[in-house]
Amino acid sequence: MKRKIYYKIIDFCILNCLSYTVASLMLSILSSFGVVQNMDYRILLQLFFCMTVFSLLATFINGFLVESRWTRFLTGLVNGTVIVLAIGGGVFHWFPWKTHYVVLVLLTFLLSYVIVYGFQLLENKKAVDQINQILMERKNNGRSC
């Protein structure tokens, strides 16, 4: 049980760091093109708060989900959209409630989400390659695996 919680915390930390990095990168790019203005430390702290809530919810919800790729992907997407709109728009007032701003924010979030999801898949692929390497080395050393 303790080990399960430990692994959940690791998953949460990785997701939190990854999503915050990607989201702040996206914001920086938009800011450099003048789409986002007044970007300062407060926005970055608020963004960190949003990504932490998102990661916490994602980790918590994933524990109850069926083992389906699409359910997981869509739930994460809905979870993130709600947080960006409710906390980002509602609490922190990142953007005015006009259609084109909301669409722009949602598109930015969607792109960030796809990048984070892709990174997670790549991370899994890298780990699997390392495990295969270990298995191969053990085989070559004459062990049973």
Partner 1 sequence: MKVTIRRNEAYIETLVEICCTEDPDTETKELLNKIQSIEARLTVTKEGHLYKLTADDIFYIECVDDRTFVYTADDTYKSALKLYQVEEQLQNTDFIRISKSVLLNVTKLDSVRSLLNAKIEVHMLNGERLLVNRHYVTAFKKKFGV
Rule CB under 8 A: which residues touch partner 1? Answer: 3-4, 7, 10-11, 62-63, 67-69, 72, 120-121, 124-125, 127-128, 130-132, 134-135, 143-145
> Nearest distance from residue 78's CB to partner 1, in Å?
18
User: Which amino acid does the sequence have at 8?
Assistant: K
84, 105 in Cβ contact below 8 A? yes
Q: How far from 97 is each of 28, 94, 100, 101, 104, CA to CA, in Å? A: 21, 10, 9, 7, 11
> Nearest distance from residue 34's CB to partner 1, in Å?
37
In the complex with partner 1, which residue's Cβ is closer, 11 or 53? Answer: 11
In the complex with partner 1, which residue's Cβ is closer, 100 or 143? Answer: 143
Six token digits for residue 83: 């947080």
In the complex with partner 1, which residue's Cβ is closer, 28 or 133? Answer: 133
> Nearest distance from residue 141's CB to partner 1, in Å?
11
- How many helices (H) and strands (E) the chain has is answered by 4, 0
In the complex with partner 1, which residue's Cβ is closer, 99 or 145? Answer: 145
Residue 104 buriedness (CB in 10 A; 0-12 / 13-18 / 19+): middle
> Nearest distance from residue 74's CB to partner 1, in Å?
12
Rounded CA-CA distance 103/107 in Å is 6
